[in-house]
């Protein structure tokens, strides 16, 4: 396991802030019982910040017929919808909610060419609610197999998440299961699939990014 590059930007700032707060607590509250609680809480928070940016090592089994989960989390929706941004037709949607304790690295559900990327500014409703899919800040990425089949993955910011990171651009090629983005602090990823796709997950199932086969196309 290693620390994600996004963490290398955030962790030093977080640790400095925690250190300053701890000094203030020591100066003004060291003679009170709450001092020990606050110091313990700051230590727990520091550990959680590092834990959030962890990147576990995973082996990816590549298969052009499989759609892999783009994120760690919990399936909160499986339904047929009208996808109006790119496909402009009916698709099967699988939504994965990522809590602040999940790994927040996003992985390519299929391998191939990235044909479309678009970032939208928006609101910050809780990522587990349905309206977050089209009202929240989000970034849409479309992956295309050599056989022409396409899968759309939409990163959605939540109430706490305030930054969506994307590391690819249209025209880039990517291996199945490779990293293409990251979302900070709690979020969601919606995956849009062809109507004839065989869905292998259901509501409440926990997924592992780059490992769980959520569908077959």
Tell me 33's DSSP state.
T
DSSP 3-state of 177: coil
3-state helix, strand, coil in the chain (%, to 5): 20, 40, 40
**pLDDT given for residue 131 in this prediction:** 59
**pLDDT given for residue 125 in this prediction:** 60
**pLDDT given for residue 1 in this prediction:** 77
DSSP 44-108: HHHHHHHHHTEE--------TTEEE-SSSEEEEEEEEEEETTTT-EEEEEEEEEE-TTS--EEE-
| Distance between CA atoms of residues 97 and 28, nearest Å | 41
- Collect all residues with Cβ–Cβ distance below 8 Å to 76 and sequence separation of at least 6: 95, 96, 97, 128, 188, 203
**pLDDT given for residue 100 in this prediction:** 83
CA quadruple 110, 74, 191, 80: dihedral sign: positive
Per residue of the chain (217 residues), what is the pLDDT tens digit? 799 999 999 999 999 999 999 999 999 998 888 999 999 999 999 999 999 899 999 999 999 999 999 999 999 999 999 999 999 999 999 999 998 889 989 999 999 999 999 998 866 566 555 555 666 789 999 999 999 999 999 999 876 555 799 999 999 999 999 999 998 776 899 999 999 999 999 999 999 999 999 999 9
**pLDDT given for residue 149 in this prediction:** 97
Q: Is 187 a catalytic residue?
A: yes
| Cα dihedral 166, 163, 94, 102 in deg (nearest 10) | 100
**pLDDT given for residue 30 in this prediction:** 86
**pLDDT given for residue 130 in this prediction:** 59
- Superfamily in which the 66-216 domain is placed by CATH: Glucose Permease (Domain IIA) (2.70.70.10)
54: how many CB neighbours lie within 10 A of its CB? 14
- Residue in 184, 192, 118, 131 with CA at minimum distance from that of residue 157: 184
């Amino acid at each position: 396991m290693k620390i994600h590059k996004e963490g290398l930007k955030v962790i030093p700032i977080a640790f400095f802030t925690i250190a300053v707060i701890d000094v203030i607590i020591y100066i003004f509250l060291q003679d009170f019982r709450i001092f020990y609680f606050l110091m313990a809480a700051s230590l727990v928070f520091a550990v959680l910040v590092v834990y959030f940016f962890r990147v576990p090592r995973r082996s990816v089994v590549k298969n052009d017929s499989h759609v892999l989960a783009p994120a760690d989390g919990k399936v909160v929706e499986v339904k047929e919808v009208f996808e109006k941004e790119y496909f402009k037709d009916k698709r099967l949607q699988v939504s994965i909610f990522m809590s602040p304790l999940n790994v927040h690295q996003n992985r390519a559900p299929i391998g191939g060419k990235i044909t479309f990327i678009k970032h939208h500014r928006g609101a910050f409703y809780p990522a587990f609610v349905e309206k977050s899919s089209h009202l929240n800040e989000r970034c849409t990425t479309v992956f295309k197999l050599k056989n022409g089949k396409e899968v759309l993955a939409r990163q959605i910011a939540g109430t706490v998440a305030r930054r969506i990171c994307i590391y690819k651009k249209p025209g880039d090629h990517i291996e199945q299961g490779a990293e293409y983005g990251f979302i900070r602090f709690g979020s969601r990823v919606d995956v849009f699939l062809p109507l004839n796709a065989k869905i292998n997950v259901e509501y409440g199932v926990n997924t592992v990014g780059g490992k769980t086969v959520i569908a077959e196309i």
